[in-house]
Amino acid sequence: MQLVWLRNDLRLGDNPALLGAAAPRRGVLAVAALTPEQWRSHDESPARLAFWLANLRALQTDLAAHNIGLQLLSAAGYAELPQQLLALARETRVSGLWFNREYALNEVRRDQAVTQAFDAAGITVHPCDGDAMVPPGRLTTQAGTPFRIFTPFARAWRRELAATAVQPLPRPARQPAPAPGPPVIIPTELPGWQPGYRDDLWPAGGTSAMRRLQDFLDGTHSDYAAQRDFPGDAGTSRLSPYLSCGVLSARQCLAGVAARATGPEWMDDPWVNEIAWRDFFRHLIAAFPGLSRWRPFRPEIEARIQWRNDQRFWQAWTLGETGFPIVDAGMRELLATGWMHNRVRMVTASFLTKLLGVDWRWGARFFMRHLIDGDFASNLGGWQWSASVGADAAPYFRIFNPVAQARRFDPHGSYVARWLPELARVAPRDRADPEAAVAAGRPPPIIDYRKARARSLADYQAAGAARQHLTSR
């Protein structure tokens, strides 16, 4: 009997750990651990947790069809897992433990502790790589160091894709006998956590995820480059919640693109480039453990920035009451659905850090606590990029003007009117404008954009000067 430990890899196909555990056809038991206190300390959102549980339930049914049973463990935190997993392994007489690696520091340490306990008990541990398209650590610069810049990373990443098959792994072998006993009941919510997520927007399960991938690739994908920046249109895949819980893998996504292409040019597809960003952020947290402790990739820049952390500004941003329509619409979308369009994530993050002077960590944690697609590596990467303290980040002088952004990417104001219905009465061309919004009953803007921009530039320029001084010594 083999034990496979499911985490954020809730899928049957293209799951290396599940496939490996099932290969001997001598019985497989799957296990998932509920660790609510740990998750809370990691800012897990109730929406993502509920979505994860719903996908675990769907997977339980799929596993049963393959004669693979599922057990649940309940522990406050990761520290209890080595003993709990070992007790289960002994009780069920498994000879091997399989899992797909995760790359953030606490998860790496958790897996090391479990591996030690199993090694000591003489049970073989089989760590696999199933989360990223190219496992973190595999790609390095010519000097053998981790990539710090996206473009050369993506070049090496594409070379790797060209050299390896993008074919997803098959489903696991059906086991000889059904799992004994009745299936465990997987809760829909956990005590003390707010219930629910929008299951009309993100129906759970591998079949739903695969259908959405196929619909996207057969439809919107062909226009992705032109449409992806317009939050009022459904121009992106909205697959992120599925990728975040591993209901769908990066490889399954890329295989879908490759299957519709005639040659290797698919690797230059702009949507494929976004999956490369996802891999890049995983590569970074694996190579630079300090990132998992909320350290910036560029501490020398952050060292000179005085975060003002004004509570009034913070409150207004979290509630979607800054008076800047695109920012407020984005925050309303996040609060109502657990998701926000990428362009608006960039605008709201730039607004909070650069124009309001609030520490990017506050924003990153707030996003994690509300996103249904919360993903530590991508969220950290996005926030550090926006605050110009990340690897290959936006230059410090890139400060999004929320009005210009809205005019350009929401030209008819359809996005802001959807999330701020009071603006529906305002003429479409004026919906980006804070003054027009005030006339329609919205709160006045909390900052003067020009002054806030000048202050931010002065802060970051001081940081840049400090960096030059340090490098020249």
Ligand X SMILES: Cc1cc2nc3c(=O)[nH]c(=O)nc-3n(C[C@H](O)[C@H](O)[C@H](O)COP(=O)(O)OP(=O)(O)OC[C@H]3O[C@@H](n4cnc5c(N)ncnc54)[C@H](O)[C@@H]3O)c2cc1C
Q: Residue 62 or 392: which CB sits closer to ligand X? A: 392
Site for ligand X in 373-412 (CB under 6 A): 373-375, 378-379, 381-383, 386
Q: Residue 110 or 370: which CB sits closer to ligand X? A: 370
Q: Which of 277, 294, 321, 401 is catalytic?
A: 277
- C-alpha to C-alpha distances, 346 to 129, 209, 253, 393, 426, nearest whole angstrom: 30, 26, 24, 12, 25
**Phi, then psi, of 433 in degrees rounded to 5:** -90, 120
12, 94, 275, 423: which one binds ligand X (CB under 6 A): 275
Q: Are 283 and 132 in contact (CB under 8 A)?
A: yes
Q: Which of 80, 160, 189, 274 is catalytic?
A: 274
In whole angstroms, what is the distance from residue 260 CA to residue 264 CA? Answer: 11
51, 157, 351, 367: which one binds ligand X (CB under 6 A): 367
33, 53, 239, 285: which one binds ligand X (CB under 6 A): 239
Based on the shown chain and the rule CB under 6 A, indicate whether residue 330 belongs to the binding site for ligand X.
no
Q: Which of 202, 271, 317, 383 is catalytic?
A: 383
Task: Output the CA torsion sign for 260, 262, 266, 270.
Answer: negative
- The closest alpha carbon to 373, from 47, 104, 131, 103, belongs to 47
Q: Residue 19 or 275: which CB sits closer to ligand X? A: 275
42, 109, 148, 238: which one binds ligand X (CB under 6 A): 238
In whole angstroms, what is the distance from residue 416 CA to residue 308 CA? Answer: 28
- The closest alpha carbon to 24, from 48, 50, 6, 2, belongs to 2
Could you confirm whether 98 is annotated as catalytic?
no
> For 200-226, b where at least 16 C-beta lie within 10 A, e where not — what string?
eebebbbebbbebbeebbeebbeebee
Q: Which segments of 273-332 are extended strands (E)?
A: none
In whole angstroms, what is the distance from residue 136 CA to residue 138 CA? Answer: 6
- C-alpha to C-alpha distances, 187 to 53, 55, 138, 219, nearest whole angstrom: 7, 11, 38, 35
Could you confirm whether 157 is annotated as catalytic?
no
By rule CB under 6 A, what count of residues binds ligand X?
28
Q: Residue 28 or 248: which CB sits closer to ligand X? A: 248
Q: Residue 134 or 346: which CB sits closer to ligand X? A: 346
202, 281, 314, 419: which one binds ligand X (CB under 6 A): 281
Beta carbon of residue 180, minimum distance to ligand X (angstroms, whole number): 38
129, 189, 277, 307: which one binds ligand X (CB under 6 A): 277
Beta carbon of residue 46, minimum distance to ligand X (angstroms, whole number): 15
Site for ligand X in 210-229 (CB under 6 A): 228
> What residue is closest to ligand X based on CB?
382
| Tokens at 235, concatenated | 């121009």
Query: Can you list the pairs that 284-288 forms with residues at least 24 positions away whose Cβ atoms lie under 8 Å?
Result: 284/146, 284/377, 284/381, 284/391, 285/103, 285/104, 285/105, 285/136, 285/376, 285/377, 285/380, 286/103, 286/108, 286/136, 286/137, 287/136, 287/137, 287/146, 288/146
Contact segment (CB under 6 A) with ligand X among 131-139, 199-207, 301-309, 340-348 equals: 340-348
Beta carbon of residue 196, minimum distance to ligand X (angstroms, whole number): 19
Beta bridge partners of 98: 4, 126
Q: Which of 52, 317, 339, 360 is catalytic?
A: 360
243, 301, 327, 416: which one binds ligand X (CB under 6 A): 243
Q: Which residues are catalytic?
A: 274, 277, 307, 342, 360, 383
Query: Which residues of this chain interact with ligand X, rule CB under 6 A?
Result: 228, 236-240, 243-244, 274-275, 277-278, 281, 342, 345-346, 349, 367, 371, 373-375, 378-379, 381-383, 386
